[in-house]
Structure 1
Amino acid sequence: MFSVKFLQSLQRVATRAFNTTARQMKNKVPEKQKLFQEDNGLPVHIKGGTTDVLLYRLTMSLTIAGTGLSCYWLLVASMPRSK
């Protein structure tokens, strides 16, 4: 079906593609580690900046709204139907 030569060349091309992209990307993990480990009195969900604050508030709003709707529908489901 596939020749050995074709598979070897495919492997070479795939390896080359991954090796060149890995060199172009910069590792940002050490910078983020310094930012989040520094002791400045801020909670971890605020240390990342405005984006983290907005994501935190959105998550909490959705959680509270979902809990409220779940409780509402549990209450509606527990009431007997009127005849």
Structure 2
Amino acid sequence: MPTTLTLKNIPDVVYDRLKLSAETHRRSMNSEAIVCLEAVLLPSKLTPTERLARARELRAALPQAKFRAHDIDAMKREGRS
């Protein structure tokens, strides 16, 4: 069951960073604070080996098309004229 938490005497620099982060992620201050707390207090339990395996799975799922440097440069410039 969710619980309410009131924070007092938050240093200005911490408040400002939280506010900027919330705006950047398009979240409320409350939601951003929860995300930050979860990231610190509930870290992912994946081992480095599991993370590497997951990254390899994701890479294998990508299309196997090969792009040349010329093609990549052209795609970057597309729409910039």
Instruction: Report the TM range for the smaller structure's normalisation.
Output: under 0.3
- Give the structure with the higher percent helix: 1
TM-score (norm 2): 0.27
Q: Which structure is richer in relative contact order (CA contacts within 8 A, separation 6 or more)?
A: 2
- For the pair shown, the structure with the greater C-alpha radius of gyration is 1
